[in-house]
Amino acid sequence: MINHQSLATRRSGFLMIRKSVSASAPGKIILSGEHFVVHGSYSVAAAINKRVLVKASDTEGKSRIVSENEASNLSTDDGNFRAIKSVARTIISRYDSEEKARFELSVASEIPPGSGLGSSAAVAVATAAALSGYLGLSLSKKEISEIAFEGEKSVHGNPSGLDNQACLYGGLVLFKKGNEVERISLTSPFHLLVVYSGKKRSTGKLVRRVGEKRERFPNYFLRLATSASGISFEVAKYCKSGDLEKLGSLFTTSQAQLSWIGVSTEFIDDLIESVCESDEVFGAKITGAGGGGSIIAAVKRGYEDVVLCRVSKRFPVSFVTEIPQEGLRWEKNQMS
């Protein structure tokens, strides 16, 4: 669990008066249309039950970024670190906050970085909210989304904007590049299995690779991209009604498309095959950029924990998630 204890209190061992603002955002999974969304297709994404907490507070020295746990992974060449730096720069330059711009940003994450589960997008959203709050700016969700998107660009090069919107708004969303997300209400909420392969990868590189594939096979790519939009509409429909069997078979179709554009790997294919060995699993696919990262599976209701237990033996970072409706959340302000 994320630790909400005041940093100042913990570090110094006695109480200091410090102003701080904390915000958290969930990670995300993509149910359909990843990669094709960069080229204009519709995509469906959802929040997961793992979050990133960012706290902005006073500091006596230079501004700094502090990692509160291993998953925050803030080495300087890491995506999370670059996202935070970009978000902080954008806020300071856009809102002319130089004079108050000394702060500490501490990050506690439950999302493995490089896992395809939206850790950099969640970090960017939570940082934009916490830091703007700390600087006394009251930004709209749209402004926070724009700033987080700049952060995502600094990490991934040419992202669609899907990840930051999914983390910001939470719930299940239908998205097309350049549009606002459309939230989809769930009449029969369900759970999905998420399995992290343990293989980190770079979203930016994979997006570039898919772009090259498009250049080499423009007509076939266009057909797949059109079909990816069709799949996304169907996915939205079956998510709404909670029909996991249909959802699973759409995952299988979607995975075939992702394989063709070159973002699956032998390791991921084997992982999907082994997860789908259970009769209770209706279908599985890569979620996010692929090349490693994570997969999601639609599992018969009531059997999620049984399948999780089996899969966790080989892949310890596996979990079952509902689709939490809450995206960005301002945490209780910590005035100690």
Q: Known catalytic residues? A: 163
CB–CB of 26/122 below 8 Å?
yes
Q: Minimum CB separation from ligand MEV for residue 189, in Å?
A: 23
Give the nearer residue to ligand MEV in terms of CB position, either 159 or 171: 159
Window contacting ligand MEV (CB under 6 A); options: 1-9, 35-43, 103-111, 134-142: 35-43
- Tell me the per-residue interface mask from 279 to 318 with ligand MEV, x by CB under 6 A, - otherwise: ---------xx-----------------------------
Strand-by-strand arrangement of the 294-299 sheet: 281-287, 294-299, 192-196, 318-321
Chain centroid to Cα 142, Å, comes to: 18
Give the nearer residue to ligand MEV in terms of CB position, either 21 or 117: 117
Q: How far apart are CA 83 and CA 86, in angstroms?
A: 5
Q: Minimum CB separation from ligand MEV for residue 97, in Å?
A: 28
Q: Minimum CB separation from ligand MEV for residue 209, in Å?
A: 10
Give the nearer residue to ligand MEV in terms of CB position, either 151 or 159: 159
Give the nearer residue to ligand MEV in terms of CB position, either 114 or 159: 159
79 is a site residue for ligand MEV (CB under 6 A): no
Window contacting ligand MEV (CB under 6 A); options: 67-75, 154-162, 239-247, 298-306: 154-162
Q: How far apart are CA 166 and CA 68, in angstroms?
A: 24
Cβ atoms < 10 Å from Cβ of 67:
17
Nearest CA among 30, 28, 5, 1 for reference residue 15: 5
H or E element, residue 53: strand 42-57
Window contacting ligand MEV (CB under 6 A); options: 155-163, 192-200, 225-233, 306-314: 155-163
H or E element, residue 281: strand 281-287
Phi-psi region of 173 (alpha: psi -120 to 50; beta: other; left: phi over 0): beta
38 is a site residue for ligand MEV (CB under 6 A): yes
CB–CB of 5/11 below 8 Å?
no
Out of 6, 27, 32, 35, which residue is the one contacting ligand MEV (CB under 6 A)? 35
Q: How many residues bind ligand MEV (CB under 6 A)?
A: 13
Window contacting ligand MEV (CB under 6 A); options: 29-37, 100-108, 223-231, 319-327: 29-37
Out of 203, 265, 294, 318, which residue is the one contacting ligand MEV (CB under 6 A)? 203
Window contacting ligand MEV (CB under 6 A); options: 1-9, 47-55, 156-164, 268-276: 156-164
**Sign of torsion, CA 25 308 261 175?**
negative
Q: How far apart are CA 172 and CA 182, in angstroms?
A: 9
Give the nearer residue to ligand MEV in terms of CB position, either 30 or 56: 30
103 by Cβ neighbours in 10 Å (0-12 / 13-18 / 19+) ranks as buried
Secondary structure (DSSP) of 171-211: SEEEEETTSPPEEE--SS---EEEEE-S----HHHHHHHHH
225 is a site residue for ligand MEV (CB under 6 A): no
What letter would DSSP give residue 331?
A: P
Q: Minimum CB separation from ligand MEV for residue 290, in Å?
A: 7
For residue 62, which amino acid is it?
K
What letter would DSSP give residue 333?
A: P
What letter would DSSP give residue 2?
A: -
Out of 34, 78, 304, 331, which residue is the one contacting ligand MEV (CB under 6 A)? 34
Q: Minimum CB separation from ligand MEV for residue 78, in Å?
A: 16
Out of 87, 123, 147, 162, which residue is the one contacting ligand MEV (CB under 6 A)? 162
- Point out which residues bind ligand MEV (CB under 6 A): 30, 34-35, 37-38, 159-160, 162-163, 203, 207, 288-289
